[in-house]
């Protein structure tokens, strides 16, 4: 659940660099695909 918590933290902190947000968003998307695709 750490991935979800991390994503939630990112959503709640829009003041951070958008570039970092995009990278984290992609990473979360890949993790979710792996979790639901192979889980």
pLDDT in tens, the chain (39 residues): 466 665 555 555 555 566 666 777 788 888 888 888 776
Q: How far apart are the first and last CA of the chain?
A: 14
What is the per-residue pLDDT for 31? 86
Residue position matching structure tokens 């947000």: 21
Whether 3 and 28 have beta carbons less than 8 Å apart is answered as yes
Helix then strand then coil, % of the chain, to nearest 5: 80, 0, 20
Give me the torsion for CA of 20, 22, 25, 29, rounded to 10°: -130
């Amino acid at each position: 659940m750490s991935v979800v918590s991390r994503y939630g933290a990112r959503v709640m902190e829009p003041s951070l660099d958008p570039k970092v947000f995009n990278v984290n968003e992609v990473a979360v998307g890949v993790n979710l695909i792996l979790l639901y695709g192979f889980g």
